[in-house]
Structures are given as structure tokens and as C-alpha cells.
Amino acid sequence: MRVRISSRNSVITWLLPSLLSLALVGCAMSEERVVARAEGLAAAGRGSDALRLLGNYLERTPQAAGPRRLKILLAIEEQQSDQALRDYEAMSASQKSDDPALLHQLSLGLIRDALRSHEGFLRARAAAALVELADPSADWLLRLGLEHPDSSVRAHAAETVGRLGKRALRPELEQLLNDTDPFVRAASAWAIGRLGEASGRPPLRQALKDRHPHVKVRAAGALVMLQDRSVISFLTDALEAKDAAVRMQAAEVLGILREPSVQALLTQRLQDPDLYVRLYAAEALVKIGDPSAVSYLRVALHQQNRFLGMFAGELLSNLGDRSAIPLLKKALQGDGDIRMRLYAAWTLGRLGDRSGLPSAEQVLRSPDQHLRANAAWTLGEIGGEKAMSLLKVALRDEAPTVKMHAIWALDRIVRPRGKTPSSSGVSKLS
């Protein structure tokens, strides 16, 4: 009897691992089957049924990563942003590492949905996110932006086309040279120049006849990018324009182009009656090789107007100069203007300094959802593990605007700049 019991126990001891292995394999197969069935439903145009199937499965097995991932992708495809955000928050809470490809797909989907929002603030921020986060795989999103009824969205989309070098979209840019909004026309002209195609010169020469001086300045700058130096006189004339905004833009463009022949004229602009013109002229001089102009920007940090001093700090950060850090850290102290503190934290983040993180964390508790959204965006510039932890908490915010900004900020941190994560999903977003 004792032997029989011992024999039975030994058999059970031997069988248990095998039975557990079979159970685990069965669970895995069950997960694979539900994913395959949901993909089939989605492919047949039954996205809602696929989401319902996955939702029911995840109620029983909430830790199942494959079905959760597919459910997020399908929710994006079905333009159910709130559902996609809830599922991503559940996934991020249960996983130690982020899925960059999934996060980026969600980020682009949220930009699409926010661009369709009736809220101007959200549309504007989505347009800014488009400039930061769109990549070569996002032609569909760029086309949506270029055709958008909001002129600021069209201008940002045109800027992004130029940044990405999307030559296939040049016809759309040329069409926007006739847009009713001068800033859209200016952005489109500049983008055509960035595409680097000599065949883009004729429409840009036509844009030089535009009635708005901002368009002329950008068109002239674009032509210089395309090796047409005969138009530099347009830019030097613009440095003498009566409108300070035109002088400022001319100085900025000449700095971007790093045009050495205008150094003397830019030096004269350091005496301009408008401080913004002087600041842009100083930045341009540094870019074309006059390091002495850095001292002008450093002195400008101590302007009586705090915002202008902060702006000088931003221009210095464009140049990689860290002189503004003490001033920016001082701006973080006290209970002053919250927007100024966030501006300081953002600029510090650009310089790789995370001193502004506590200020951004504090603003995440503001009763104003727009301030919380700005704080989330700022954390995306600051980066680091602590910022990511705060952003994952922000995914539980009651305001969809804040959640969207948290996703965009996480995407900026997780995705290496200049690289596109390998896309995977049921289909391209549309």
C-alpha cells in the first residue's frame, strides 16, 4: 500500500510539470486564436465586432499583451481615441518597458483625431505635435494637414513636408502658394526650398511677386537654398523694411542660410529700434561665424522685460550655449507666472538640464487642463525616467487633452530623434 502511494505520488510529481506546460501552451494558443479571429473580422470590415471580441477576452485575461496591443491598433483605426488611450494606460501599467512602434502609432492617431477637434487649443497643439513627430511613414497624415480648413494646421503641415523632404508632396505645396493665408503661402515656399529640387524655382520666382512681404522673404530664402543667389537683394532690402516683423524674419532667414555676405548689414541691425530684430540679428551673426555676437545675446538675458530675457535664453539654446541656465533656474523659483516657469523648464530641457522637472510636476496638478497639457508637453522636452513616470500618471488624467499631450510627450522621449519605429498593425491609419 505504501509502495503504491509512493508510486502514485511519483507519477503525479512527474506529470505536474507536463500538465502545466500543456496548460500554458493552451493559453498561448487561445490568445493566438483570438488575435487571428479579430484580425480576420477587421480585414472583413467588421472592426466593431473585432473590438468587442478582444474586449470580452481581455475581461477574462487582462494581462494578455497580444490582444491588448491589437485592440489599441483597432481602436485607433476605428477613431476611438478614448478607448485606445484607456487600453494603452492599462498596458503601460502592467509592462515595464514601452513598445515604441505601438506608442508612435497611437501618437499619430491622436494627432489625426485632435486635428478634427472643434477646440482651437487642441488643434494648434496637434499641429505642433505633427511638426515634431511626423515621420516618412506619415504621408496620409501630412495630406490631411495640408488640406485642413485651419490655416495654422496647413502651415505646420507644409513646414513638416519640407523638414521630411517629401518631394512627392511638392504639387500640394505649389498649390498652397495660392492659399488665402499669407503664412501658409510663406511656409509652403520655404518647404519647396527645403526639398532641394531645382525645378522648384519657377513657382518660387512667382511667389516673389506675392503682395505679402513675409511670403517674399521666405520665397527668396527658398531660392537661395536652390542655389539662386540673384535674390539675396530681396533679403537685404527686407532688413531695411519699415515693418519690424519683416526685418526680424529677414534676419532669421539669413541666419538659417548662413549667408556670409550680409554680415555687415546684420551687424547694423544690432542697433535696430526693435529688440526682437536685434536678437534675431545677433543669432544670425553667430550662425554665419561671428562668435562675438553671442555676448549680445548674453547681455540681453538681463532685460527688464522678463519674457524678452527668456527669449534670448531660447535663442542661446538654439546655438547650444548654456549661458542662460542660471537665469532660467532663477525663473523656476517662487510662485510667479506659471507659463514663464514652464517656458524656463522647457528651455532648460533643450539644454539637457532637468532642473525644471519639479515645476512641471507641480503644474500637472493645476486645475487648468490646458496648463496640465503644457506641463506634459514640457516633460517630453525634459525627458528621463522620472518624466516618463509622471507622464504615465498623466495618462489617467480626466481631460482627454492632457492624455493626448502625455502620449505625444512619451513618444518624443521613447522614439530616438530622426528614427522611425518599425510599424506593425492591421493597416495604415487613414
> Where exactly are the structural domains of the chain?
25-94
- Determine the pLDDT at residue 306: 87
C-alpha distance from residue 45 to each of 36, 50, 77, 86, 373 (Å): 14, 9, 11, 23, 35
Torsion of CA 17, 23, 27, 33, to 10 degrees: 120
How does DSSP classify residue 395?
T
For 25-94, which CATH class? mainly alpha
Who contacts 391 (Cβ-Cβ below 8 Å, separation ≥6)? Answer: 376, 379, 380, 406, 409, 410, 413
Who contacts 176 (Cβ-Cβ below 8 Å, separation ≥6)? Answer: 146, 154, 158, 184, 185, 187, 188
Who contacts 226 (Cβ-Cβ below 8 Å, separation ≥6)? Answer: 193, 196, 197, 198, 200, 201, 204
Output the tens digit of pLDDT for each of the chain's 430 residues.
Answer: 333 334 344 433 433 344 334 333 344 448 889 999 999 999 999 999 999 999 999 999 998 999 999 999 999 999 898 899 999 998 888 777 778 999 999 999 999 999 999 999 999 999 999 999 999 889 999 999 999 999 999 999 999 999 999 999 999 999 999 999 999 999 999 999 999 999 999 999 999 999 999 999 999 999 999 999 999 999 999 999 999 999 999 999 999 999 999 999 999 999 999 999 999 999 999 999 999 999 999 999 998 888 899 999 999 999 999 999 999 999 898 667 899 999 999 999 999 999 999 999 999 999 999 999 999 999 999 999 999 999 999 999 999 999 999 999 999 999 865 444 333 333 333 3
On whether the CB atoms of residues 244 and 274 are closer than 8 A, the answer is yes
The CA-to-CA distance between both ends of the chain, in Å, stands at: 71
